[in-house]
A and B are shown apart, each in its own frame.
Chain A
Amino acid sequence: MSTILSVNHLTKKFGYLTAVKDLSFTIEKGNVYGILGPNGSGKSTTLGIVLNVVNKTSGEFAWFGGDTSTHEALKKVGAIIERPNFYPYMTALQNLKLVCKIKDVSEDKIEEKLDLVGLLDRKNSKFKTFSLGMKQRLAIASALLNDPEILILDEPTNGLDPQGIHQIREIIKTIAAKGTTILLASHLLDEVEKVCTHVVILRKGEKLYSGRVDSLQASFGFFELKSDDLEKLSSYLRTNEHFGSIKQENGLVTAILTSELDAQTLNKLLFDKGIIVSHLVKRKESLEEQFLALTKNVNA
């Protein structure tokens, strides 16, 4: 597996404010990465640095093993930062031709990419006449013109209506399915959970976690149970060595697992003890719950 981007001890200070603090991570080919973090956690600054628009204070980053200069490497990258930036007085087609010139690639792919994002019939409209969703889609088309090794998206669904969000997500999924490496920065956790295989979690410029999404959800999950005899149920669960804490809330018992146990076995165990459950669900914590737990731990 080849490394696309490696970031080592990257730091960026804006005056007294440290936006990115000693950040290190690597991006490997073929994975879909998410950079997660609340607003102001340094996601965009980090992307700005590796994309040559923000100067780093200290640390290193290297594209494709560091053999090429950053701006040469960026020709093999497709990136959209925050808002789509194009020349408002030029048409979609003219704007994309300009990008082709900058990236030094042929103009053959323009139609194909416009078609992919569903803008082919508007190719001769001026950029300023586009809605935000269309602008964002044009930005994606533009980022794909060079068939990039990696696609970097910073808050791609920010400010879009539900329909626009859905369209962008579908496009991202299509691209990911083709095997393109994607780096997606977002504060929308379900968005990352739906498409990403790996995550980097940032908070106030510091890295809290980086690795696979499933190993972040390292816990064994939990059971949600309901029964006519809640007391008997909870007291039994407390004696079982598989469970940690047991919570009872609104007639629903939540039991956190400390070791592997499947739903079928539990059901049988309970039945043998004479406890009949009316509701039994085994769940894993969502990324959101994990993320909140992780960021809260640091607060404490």
Chain B
Amino acid sequence: MIRLLQIEFIKLWNNRASKVLIISYFALLTSIALVAAIKFDIGPIKFHLADQGIFNFPYIWHFNTFITAFFKLFLAIVIVSMMSNEYSNKTIKQNLIDGLSKKEFILSKFLTVITFSLVSTFFVFIVSLILGLIYSDFNELSIIFTDLEFLLAFFVKLTGFFSFCLFLGVLVKRSAFALGFLILWQVFEGIFRGIIRWKFFDSETTDMIMGFFPLQAMFNLIKEPFSRLGAVQSVANQMGEKLALDYYIHWYEIVIVLAWIAIFVYGSYAILKKRDL
């Protein structure tokens, strides 16, 4: 296993484009801390984002995992190209001839995906913990470590998304086309939602059905955190509305994404096995 990771590491780290993207990705993850610095101090209007409660434990786990998940697109490029480059350089053929089995080949890519997700999760954990310790109004240990399931969801979400990228890389063999296909798929899910909502089902059933589609399922894992924010809640209260959003992570949402991961990884292997290179 270590050997497979080392193999992939050599391939990635010696590629300048990948290296730059990986470094900028982790820099961006860290940069969420800069949000804390957003501070308007224009005469009577004093606004300090950090004081708005976004860094309060345990809300910070939700907020940071939601926001940082958008940066995953950087790594998506790395993953799609690490797969499709093997095809365009024909190195996949040489790897197999040199004695890597097709299973090991896919496994080495998947392990890389897991590693990226793990390291990202760890990064977000550390950055959020530090930010929280500085800005949070509540610092009791029991509160700090509530809602940590958002980190688990974050990990599953990233792994799911990267596995999808991996699968597209194997399927399409060209990085630009694979990324295009990813966008196309997002559009497809949107259009499909529109059609079934318009013609067939009410909004609840539509949501349920869409929850089975890969990208929507990944998005469902961590729901938007803004309506949970104290300020938003109080505004809603004043308007006489009660925002009762279900922002918790449900076990079946995790299971759906795990199932997609299994499908993508096994699918990549099946395609590779069937293909003549």
The finding on whether chains A and B are genuine partners in a shared complex, rather than unrelated, reads yes
Query: Contacting A87 at CB < 8 Å: which of B14, B99, B273?
Result: B14
Assess the B10–A94 pair: CB atoms within 8 A. Answer: yes
- CB distance A102 to B99 under 8 Å? yes
Contacts of A284 in B (CB 8 A): none
Interface hits, B2-17 → A, CB 8 Å: 3, 6-7, 10-11, 14-16
Contacts A87-B11, A94-B10 given; indicate if A53 touches B96 (C-beta within 8 A).
yes
A102 CA to B15 CA, complexed, in Å: 18
Q: How far is the CA of A14 from the CA of B276 in the complex (A)?
A: 10
Interface residues on A, range: 20 to 34
Q: Are A98 and B10 in contact, with the CB atoms below 8 A?
A: yes
**Partner of A86 from B3, B91, B100 at Cβ < 8 Å:** B91
Query: Is A75 a contact partner of B99 (Cβ separation < 8 A)?
Result: yes
A53-B276, A101-B6 as given contacts; A85 in contact with B99, CB under 8 Å: no
- Asked if B90 CB lies within 8 Å of chain A CBs, one says yes
A72-B99 in contact (CB<8A) = yes
Is B277 interfacial (CB-CB < 8 Å)? yes
Query: Any chain B CB within 8 A of the CB of A183?
Result: no
- Sample of 20 more A-B contacts, CB < 8 Å, known A51-B97, A94-B10: A53-B96, A53-B97, A55-B276, A70-B101, A71-B101, A74-B96, A74-B97, A74-B98, A74-B99, A79-B97, A81-B93, A81-B94, A83-B90, A86-B89, A86-B94, A87-B91, A89-B14, A94-B14, A101-B7, A142-B98
Per-residue interface assignment for chain B, residues 174 to 192, with 1 indicating a CB less than 8 Å from any chain A CB and 0 otherwise: 0000000000000000000
Residues from chain B with a CB closer than 8 A to the CB of A142 are 98
Which of chain B's residues have a CB closer than 8 A to the CB of A74?
96-99
Q: Are B14 and A52 in contact (CB under 8 A)?
A: no
B274 and A55 contact, CB distance less than 8 A? yes
Q: Which of A85, A88, A102 has the most CB of B within 10 A?
A: A102
Contact in complex: B98, A102 (CB < 8 Å): yes
B83-110 near A? 1/0 per residue, CB < 8 Å: 0000001110111111111101000000
B85: nearest residue on chain A (CB-CB)? Answer: A87
Which chain B residues border A109 with CB–CB below 8 Å?
Answer: none
Q: Which residues of B contact A69 (CB under 8 A)?
A: 101
Give the residues in chain A near B274, CB-CB below 8 Å: 55
Picked from A85, A88, A99, the residue with its CB within 8 Å of the CB of B93 is: A85
Q: Given A98-B7, A101-B3, A102-B7, are A52 and B89 also a contact pair (CB < 8 Å)? A: no
Q: CB distance A85 to B94 under 8 Å?
A: yes
| CB within 8 Å for A53 and B98 given contacts A94-B14, A101-B3, A101-B7 | no
Residue in A54, A79, A87, A102 whose CB lies within 8 Å of B276:
A54
Digit string of B216-250 for contact with A (CB within 8 Å is 1, else 0)?
A: 00000000000000000000000000000000000
Judge if A29 is at the interface, Cβ distance under 8 Å.
no
Instruction: List, in ascending order, chain B residues with CB within 8 A of A102's CB.
Output: 7, 95, 98-100
| Neighbour of A52 across the interface among B3, B6, B96, CB < 8 A | B96
Is the C-beta of A97 less than 8 angstroms from some C-beta in chain B?
Answer: yes
Contacts of A97 in B (CB 8 A): 10
A104 to B14, CA, bound (A): 20
Rounded to whole angstroms, the CA-CA distance of A72 and B100 in the bound complex is 8
Binary B-proximity of A93-130 (CB < 8 A = 1, otherwise 0)? 01001110111100000000000000000000000000
B11→A98 contact, CB < 8 A: yes
A residues within 8 A CB of B98? 74-75, 79, 99, 102-103, 142
Q: Report the minimal beta-carbon distance from A219 to chain B, rounded to whole angstroms.
A: 39
Q: Does A48 contact B (CB under 8 A)?
A: yes
Smallest Cβ-Cβ distance to A88: which chain B residue:
B89
* Chain A residues within 8 Å of B97, by CB: 51-53, 74, 79, 81
* Pair B91/A89 contact, Cβ less than 8 Å: no
- Docked pose: A99 CA to B10 CA in angstroms: 10
Q: Which residues of A contact B100 (CB under 8 A)?
A: 71, 102
Whole-angstrom distance between the alpha carbons of A83 and B15 in the complex?
22
In angstroms, Cα B7 to Cα A70, docked, is 20
User: Would you give the shortest CB distance from A144 to chain B, in whole angstroms?
Assistant: 12
Assuming A55-B276, A71-B104, is B7 touching A87 (CB within 8 A)? no
Partner of B96, one of A71, A90, A101, A103: A71
Could you list some 29 contacts between A and B, CB below 8 A?
A48-B276, A48-B277, A51-B96, A52-B101, A53-B97, A53-B277, A54-B276, A71-B99, A71-B100, A73-B99, A74-B99, A75-B98, A77-B99, A81-B93, A85-B90, A85-B91, A86-B89, A86-B91, A88-B89, A89-B15, A89-B16, A90-B15, A94-B14, A98-B7, A98-B11, A101-B6, A101-B10, A102-B98, A103-B99
Chain B residues, Cβ within 8 Å of A81: 93-94, 97
User: How many angstroms between the C-alpha atoms of A83 and B7 in the bound complex?
Assistant: 22
Complex alpha-carbon distance, A104 and B3, angstroms:
8
Tell me whether A90 and B99 are in contact (CB under 8 A). no
> What is the CA–CA distance of A83 and B91 in the complex, to the nearest angstrom?
11
Assess whether A87 is in contact with B93, with CB atoms less than 8 Å apart. no
Residues in chain A near residue B3, CB distance under 8 A = 101, 104
Kindly list the 5 A-B residue pairs having the minimum CB-CB distance in the complex, ordered from nearest: A75-B99, A71-B101, A74-B99, A85-B94, A85-B90
